[in-house]
Amino acid sequence: MRNGNIREFVDKLWDGEELIYIYNGKKYFSQGYVLENGQYRFELQQWEPEGKMLWYVEGLDHQLSLDKFLEQPAAEVADRSSPLF
């Protein structure tokens, strides 16, 4: 997302929409989905300049997963390679 509307961005996250956006010159991908075991998973991946999983949460409901993501400082997410829960 570049110069985007933050409300629109959060609404798309809430809908579980797959999003690709640019933040501080890096490209990211986020998505939320239901696993085979019925648990919800939300994840954030960095796609460029290198591809890697940055953060995920699972086992919480949709709203709590989104809340955890929005509460997480961006710098901490970028340094994290393990799940929050």
Average pLDDT, 10 consecutive residues per value, the chain (85 residues): 67 74 86 88 89 86 80 59 43
- Confirm whether pTM is higher than 0.75: no
Query: Can you give the pLDDT at residue 64?
Result: 84
- Rounded Cα distance between 22 and 4, Å, is 10
Classify domain 6-79 by CATH architecture: Single Sheet (2.20)
Query: Can you give the pLDDT at residue 84?
Result: 43
Query: Can you give the pLDDT at residue 82?
Result: 44
- Rounded Cα distance between 41 and 10, Å, is 17
Residue 18 half-sphere exposure, CB side, CA atoms within 13 Å? Answer: 2
Query: Can you give the pLDDT at residue 58?
Result: 84
Maximum Cα–Cα distance across the chain: 37
Query: Can you give the pLDDT at residue 45?
Result: 92
Domain ranges in the chain are 6-79
